[in-house]
């Protein structure tokens, strides 16, 4: 009788409960599992928790009796995530570093390394799903057999809509999806906690991480000041009058109500909100009316660096859905090409607080088609 080969999977172990349960589930399913902790760059002026996270991941691997490896991707993380983030802020955009971390670190350096080590699959604790679709159709979209004779892989939103992370995975390709597993994508977060507790994993009650190692635990302005020199500028009211100053437009985002100084304030003053900024003139415009932030709306969102997960442009005659920020409810839109051959999203309803540098991610119901960076 022919022996069936056990499929080998390398699991990205962050030291959190989601990746811990991912390794557990894959082991229960009969995979040959190896846990991999990815060590990333951290600033010298801030003490990250990576040592504790690595120890937590190591303890889970010991509990499951699976191999544990530490993979150093500091250079990749510094270049593709941190330097990218700093460069974006320098030109006045608000980047989404989590997207770049997935693209270049988890599904870049880690993915490529794991496959070279002989892994059949890589896995992470993302709340998303991969669906293999036979040749000829992908949820109603025709697939050319010349392009992909074995069919395609679709990226689906996670079952737990409160935790769905497909928004951060729009850069994935067919090559990556075909060798990726998301073990917790079919269950919700409370069930993940229950499984961790049932099998006595040490991460069962560990709090969720706050994204990047140091962002969220350190003020973004305090971080950026180590890489971008302060540049004093004027704060203008809606009439163009100078009413204060700030340390640089690159530190500030639309809607922010702190990080600048207003002259002649009184204890009864209501807060000002940033409603506009000019990078070249190094000025910001503020208003006491918070609704002014939301009034800057448009039905058209222009994109750059577009990626279509299926490898082909979707049917431009159909209506789809999209979100321009994480957790935003999906909004109906059409995908169009501009005269410059760039992609635009034309929404049925005006979109508020459109932020340059953030990701716009496009869906066909629960299927993530891809996305791009907002211009």
Q: How far, in Å, CA of 196 to CA of 192, rounded?
A: 6
Residue 179 zone, left/alpha/beta (φ > 0; ψ -120 to 50; rest): alpha
3-state secondary structure of 192: helix
The answer to whether the beta carbons of residues 19 and 34 sit under 8 Å apart is no
The answer to whether the beta carbons of residues 269 and 318 sit under 8 Å apart is no
The helices-and-strands tally (H runs, E runs) of the chain is 10, 18
Q: Is-catalytic flag, 333?
A: no
Catalytic, out of 101, 153, 333, 368: 101
DSSP annotation of 215 reads B
Residue whose C-alpha is closest to residue 114's, from 7, 8, 5, 4: 8
User: How many beta carbons lie within 10 A of that of residue 296, not counting itself?
Assistant: 14
Q: How far, in Å, CA of 192 to CA of 23, rounded?
A: 12
Q: How far, in Å, CA of 290 to CA of 283, rounded?
A: 19
Instruction: Look at the block and give the residue holding tokens 């039905």.
Output: 299
Pair of tokens at residue 301: 């969102």
DSSP annotation of 209 reads P
What would you report as the CA-atom Rg of the chain, rounded to the nearest whole angstrom? 23
The answer to whether the beta carbons of residues 233 and 246 sit under 8 Å apart is yes
3-state secondary structure of 121: strand
Q: Is-catalytic flag, 213?
A: yes
User: Exposed (0-12), middle (13-18) or buried (19+): which is 32, by Cβ within 10 Å?
Assistant: middle
Catalytic, out of 61, 153, 213, 368: 213
DSSP 11-66: EE--SSHHHHHHHHHHHHTT-EEEEEEEE----TTS--SHHHHHHHHHHHHHHHT-
Show which residues are catalytic. Answer: 101, 213
């Amino acid at each position: 009788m022919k022996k069936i080969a056990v499929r080998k999977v390398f699991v990205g172990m962050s030291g959190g409960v989601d990746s811990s349960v991912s390794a557990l589930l894959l082991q229960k399913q009969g995979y040959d599992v190896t846990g991999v902790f990815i060590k990333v760059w951290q600033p010298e002026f801030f003490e990250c928790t990576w040592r504790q996270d690595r120890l937590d991941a190591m303890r889970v691997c010991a509990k499951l009796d699976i191999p544990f490896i530490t993979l150093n991707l500091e250079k990749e993380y510094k270049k593709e995530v941190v330097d990218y983030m700093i460069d974006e802020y320098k030109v006045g955009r608000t980047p989404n570093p989590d997207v770049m971390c997935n693209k270049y670190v988890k599904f870049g350096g880690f993915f490529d390394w794991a496959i070279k080590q002989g892994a059949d699959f890589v896995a992470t604790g993302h709340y998303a799903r991969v669906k293999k679709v036979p040749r000829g159709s992908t949820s109603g979209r025709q697939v050319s057999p010349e392009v992909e004779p074995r069919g395609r892989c679709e990226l689906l939103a996670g079952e737990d809509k409160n935790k769905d992370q497909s928004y951060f995975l729009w850069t994935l390709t067919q090559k990556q999806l075909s060798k990726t597993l998301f073990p917790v994508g079919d269950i919700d977060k409370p069930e993940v906690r229950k499984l961790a507790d049932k099998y006595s994993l040490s991460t069962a009650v560990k709090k969720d991480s706050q994204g990047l190692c140091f962002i969220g635990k350190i003020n973004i302005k305090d971080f950026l000041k180590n890489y971008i020199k302060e540049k004093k500028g004027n704060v203008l009211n809606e009439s163009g009058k100078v009413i204060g100053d700030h340390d640089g437009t690159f530190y500030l985002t639309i809607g922010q109500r702190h990080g600048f100084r207003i002259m002649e304030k009184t204890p009864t003053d209501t807060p000002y909100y940033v409603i506009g900024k000019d990078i070249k003139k190094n000025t910001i415009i503020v208003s006491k009316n918070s609704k002014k932030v939301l009034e800057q709306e448009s039905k058209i969102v222009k994109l750059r660096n577009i990626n279509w997960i299926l490898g082909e442009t979707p049917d431009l005659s159909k209506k789809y859905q999209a979100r321009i920020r994480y957790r935003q409810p999906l909004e109906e839109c059409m995908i169009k090409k501009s005269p410059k051959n760039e992609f635009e999203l034309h929404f049925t309803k005006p979109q508020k607080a459109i932020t340059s540098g953030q990701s716009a991610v496009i869906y066909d119901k629960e299927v993530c088609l891809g996305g791009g960076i907002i211009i």
